[in-house]
């Protein structure tokens, strides 16, 4: 399985930078914005739903879920690893659906307080589970990719959101920066986790191929 991971990483991060750039350039309050970009601002608005940045984030999260499921299938001889990656896949499948359908906004309305406080206990439990498994498996490279990606994603998805809510209302300029930081960190964190999953998927694929060759 030959996947050019460095090139893929550069490509995915470049798309994030491009989306941020288009978001900024299409803002109506920039006098130097091109009229065409201003008219299509909604399509690239990081603070809106159902547009291109939302679709990209959804695809990244689902790609992590799909790769994790593949690792779970290929690690059928390692029971604990198989269960962990299956849980990992389910969590990211939910995050993908949440990104597309904005479930967290509904939870915030139901419980009458910010969704961050609803998600925080589950996010902490999931992070502890990941730390436990990744320390136990002994793969330092995988551990660094997955944990750093989870931290970056949490800083964007929950950290920036919490700051914006606690210090509401933020001045317009700071709010725009907060939106860029939140969405940029979320997408970057997903990409980092995806790179870790792809490396592990390639490793298990290679092990499985070697077994068939030697059999």
- The 10s digit of each residue's pLDDT in 112-130 is 667 788 888 999 999 999 9
pLDDT at 175 over 90: no
Band of residue 132 on the pLDDT scale cut at 50, 70, 90: very high
Dump pLDDT digits (tens) for 193-208: 999 999 999 988 887 7
Query: pTM above the 0.75 mark?
Result: yes
pLDDT at 211 over 90: no
Q: How far apart are CA 147 and CA 80, in angstroms?
A: 18
* Cβ 25 vs Cβ 34: under 8 Å: yes
pLDDT at 185 over 70: yes
pLDDT at 86 over 70: yes
pLDDT at 164 over 90: no
Q: How far apart are CA 145 and CA 196, in angstroms?
A: 5
pLDDT at 106 over 80: no
Q: What is the pLDDT averaged over residues 37-62?
A: 90
Q: What is the pLDDT at residue 149?
A: 97
Q: What is the pLDDT at residue 137?
A: 86
Band of residue 33 on the pLDDT scale cut at 50, 70, 90: low
What proportion of the chain, given as a percentage, has pLDDT over 90?
55
Q: What is the pLDDT averaged over residues 140-158?
A: 94
């Amino acid at each position: 399985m030959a996947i050019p991971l460095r090139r893929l990483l550069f490509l995915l991060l470049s798309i994030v930078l491009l989306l941020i750039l288009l978001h900024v350039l299409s803002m109506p309050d920039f006098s130097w914005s091109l009229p065409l970009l201003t008219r299509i601002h909604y399509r690239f608005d990081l603070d809106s739903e159902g547009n291109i940045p939302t679709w990209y984030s959804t695809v990244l999260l689902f790609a992590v879920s799909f790769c994790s499921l593949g690792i779970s299938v290929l690690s059928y001889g390692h029971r604990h690893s198989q269960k962990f990656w299956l849980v990992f896949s389910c969590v990211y499948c939910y995050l993908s659906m949440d990104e597309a359908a904005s479930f967290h906004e509904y939870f915030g309305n139901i419980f009458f307080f910010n969704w961050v406080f609803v998600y925080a206990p589950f996010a902490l439990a999931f992070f502890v589970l990941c730390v436990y498994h990744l320390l136990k498996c002994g793969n330092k490279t995988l551990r660094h990719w997955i944990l750093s990606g989870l931290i970056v994603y949490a800083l964007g998805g929950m950290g920036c959101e919490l700051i914006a809510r606690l210090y509401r209302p933020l001045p317009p300029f700071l709010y725009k920066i907060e939106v860029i930081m939140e969405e940029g960190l979320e997408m970057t964190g997903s990409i980092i986790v995806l790179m870790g999953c792809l490396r592990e998927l390639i490793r298990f694929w290679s092990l499985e191929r070697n077994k068939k060759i030697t059999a």
